[in-house]
Structure 1
């Protein structure tokens, strides 16, 4: 619920009105549901692939008519920019960028089922060849590194994995109790969803678990760190905002930061393992394969050759080909953001610590924001127009522990591993 107009300073009410127009305009834009595959098709194809019968799935999509939404979003972009583009308030810039990203998403969805989805999805989520900020290496380079490292360490790590699989219903009950204790009773519901393609998905007040799968202890930790204490938490904090109620909704432009922050949260809370890093890295390599002509079956076989089960290989390939032709040369680029977002958010945290700006890190949880937004909107955080977060993840509440990790990483970053010799280490202790 937005605050009454009287609670917003008169000079800011224009932005509050634009924000409400924005939310109304995007109400009919649903990215993942539009490109999703029917669960019945997945079940049938997984059984066929498991029996060695490989054929391209036949997927049909319902193409939405979003012309009216695109027109309104273009008008909001223009109105948010003001008469002088060089003198735009950060609130206006936030609204302009957000409206633009939704307009691009609408154009993408109107091309669903064709290769026309590829270009706007790359505009929203980036591509494997993009450079990592502060580096001359690309997302593709990082993906290769983590896959190779996982393969080298895998045999030694298998013996350490003593996790026990639990059914979705059991995990649902465990998560519900933990979330009731943290956010308050009934604030977030946990449900089992047989139609869900991803293993889990989170909104402000609901977390869904895929019904046809079981979960490990690592999965439980990851779901809490990633889905509950980032995706749901930032949405709930966004709902507390009196001025920009759109901060409760994940716009396309914030996806990279939100997913990067969620994976970073796994890292900070000890809920990520090398196999998880391998999985998100393989998706980037698979997007690159698809863009370069690999079809669905070839990408499936790639995941399978990398050790994934039949079902996991199918679901992984399906993520790459959501909304696009399965014959190669096209891809849905969203899975590019998990690793690239992690690396960028990690760099941001180290940079903010070095600048002694822990406030920026806390403000990152005030709603669905990009890293750019957190810096640009600081005057409005300072004035109180944008509220600080009501909830912070457990690992962010222990600032001394977080500062210790960041201080260590900032210093260690200056040590170049390619210059380290084993005998040098032995002689130093």
Structure 2
């Protein structure tokens, strides 16, 4: 069943039309490709860094002209704002248009410190507080790094186990995805110019050419990229009312990435080393914002146990689109841990409220947690369709409920009050 087989109710057609205008307006806005570095530059610099030649990379960017897009987005936002209180669809469209406006401002400043403020507006700061906590994202990052170090999680040892070439993994993933989504629904390709180790769209997953992958990488790609990013995009494509639910708008990034890392956690595809990696990036963003330059951030990753290529790629992620001399950062990597913690809290809250329907609806497209709650009347009416596909771990509701119920209860046990002799005497 696809979107075209569902008619949009007359009273909702205005929102559907605004949504189509929004999609047309943002067609030329591409965040990650605008701030990406050429793979050839990375290869040369990694070779130099391997020899101990630490110089700042020279990166140039093509600055997009987004004036027309901004004007149209402002008009859409104005039209949607008048209905934002009358219908949650107006609120959804207003928030989405506004986030694309912030993204356009960020991209038009590419290569300058002007990227930092809109980047932080979209993705948050390391010192932002975690919902329901007095601790910050940075506090959580430091906790996971320290715990990883205490457990002896060795990033270099983890790298040495990466023995699956990209071409071999491509064939393996393609077979698995054909079985799950249907033959040919999602293609898997090897891309020599890809900066990240992997990237996913609705119908295509790309692997970085020349990279080797571990079994953990394979599990993470399926749980994170395929069964969240691709899955929510495919479910979004079936939506008759809001076609934008198939595309990741800037405002949904934190929820989408948090949900993807949460999926790794629920499916057993995450380990303490992975948590250390995403936590190190948050500390690095904080360092860059406070003045550290690219080489200093690179050396931080290296000192924490990452290989030369991984240290370079990690530092590169922090400095995408901004000057490399310090005081600026591209804050996207802030969302992985903060998003995980927020999504985990949302799942526990929904279980406590006996609202498993909210959790299923989270996969109906590219939604924020706010959207899932406010758009419930339109899920109930059928204007927004439930998800066609759910990740394997979401298909077993009792298993998920068991994990979450245990998590909710165990959260009431304060570890700082537990003494070792109490545990021994009760055994």
Query: TM-score, normalized by length of structure 2?
Result: 0.98
Q: Distance in 1 between matches of 2:258 and 2:67?
A: 31
For residues 333 and 198 of structure 2, the distance between their equivalents in structure 1, rounded to whole angstroms, comes to: 15
The 2-side partners of 1:144 and 1:356 are apart by 33
**Residue 250 of structure 1, aligned match among 248, 273, 278:** 248
For 1:277 and 1:185, the matched residues in 2 are separated by 33
Specify the alignment match of 1:389 in structure 2.
Answer: 387
Any stretches of 5+ residues in structure 2 without a counterpart? none
Q: Return the match for 1:355 from 353, 356, 368.
A: 353
Picking from 224, 236, 241, the partner of 2:234 is 236
Q: CA RMSD in A?
A: 1.7
Q: 1:356 to 1:251 in 2, by over 3 A?
A: same
* Counterpart in the other structure of 1:33: 33
1:10-159 matches, within 5 Å, as 10-82=10-82, 87-154=85-152
2:184 match: 186
Provide the residue aligned with 1:196 in structure 2. Answer: 194
Q: Structure 1's 45 and 157: CA in aligned 2 closer, same or farther, altered over 3 A?
A: closer
Distance 1:387 1:328 in 2: 46
1:154 Cα offset (Å): 1.5
CA shift, 1:76, in A, is 0.4
Please state how far the C-alpha of 1:70 moved relative to its aligned partner.
0.4
Deviation track 1:198-217 (CA, whole Å, cap 9, x = no partner) reads 11000000000011210000
**Mapped contact 1:321–1:330 kept (Cα < 8 A):** yes
Which residue number in structure 2 is paired with residue 333 of structure 1?
331
| Uncovered stretches (5+) of structure 1, i.e. residues with no partner | none
- Per-residue deviation, 1:81: 1.4
Q: 1:54 to 1:240 in 2, by over 3 A?
A: same
Call closer, same or farther: CA 1:4–1:393 in 2, change over 3 Å.
Answer: closer
Give the aligned length. 427
1-structure distance, mates of 2:4, 2:271? 46
Give the Cα–Cα distance (whole angstroms) in 2 for the partners of residues 350 and 185 of structure 1: 35
Q: Distance in 1 between matches of 2:238 and 2:137?
A: 35
Q: How far has the Cα of 1:88 moved from its partner?
A: 3.0
SS for the counterpart of 1:101 is helix
> Paired residue for 2:219?
221
Pairing 1:289-308 to 2, within 5 Å after superposition: 289-308=287-306
Q: 2:6–2:240: 8 Å Cα contact kept in structure 1?
A: no
Distance 1:217 1:197, change over 3 A: same
Q: CA deviation at 1:4?
A: 5.5
1:166-181 alignment runs, 5 A limit: 166-181=164-179
Give the whole-Å Cα distance in 1 for the aligned partners of 2:404 and 2:21. 40
The answer to whether the 8 Å contact 1:19/1:244 transfers is yes
> After the TM superposition, which of the residue ranges 146-155 and 392-401 deviates more from structure 2?
146-155
Checking the alignment, whether the CA contact within 8 Å between 1:163 and 1:218 is kept in structure 2 is: no
Runs of 4+ more than 6 Å apart: 156-162
TM superposition shift of 1:165 = 1.4
CA displacement 1:22-44 (0-9 Å, x = unmatched):
00000000000000001110000
User: Are the structure 2 counterparts of residues 158 and 332 from structure 1 closer, same or farther at C-alpha, using a change threshold of 3 Å?
Assistant: closer
Deviations 1:176-214, CA, capped at 9 Å, x for gaps: 000000000000000001101111000000000011210
Q: 1:144 to 1:103 in 2, by over 3 A?
A: same
- How far apart are the structure 2 equivalents of 1:305 and 1:99? 41
Superposition deviation, residue 162 in structure 1 = 9.8
- Secondary structure of 2:190 counterpart: strand
* 1:129–1:151 Cα change, 3 Å: same
Equivalent runs, 1:315-326 vs 2, <5 Å: 315-326=313-324
Question: When the two structures are superposed, what TM-score results if normalisation uses the length of structure 1?
Answer: 0.97
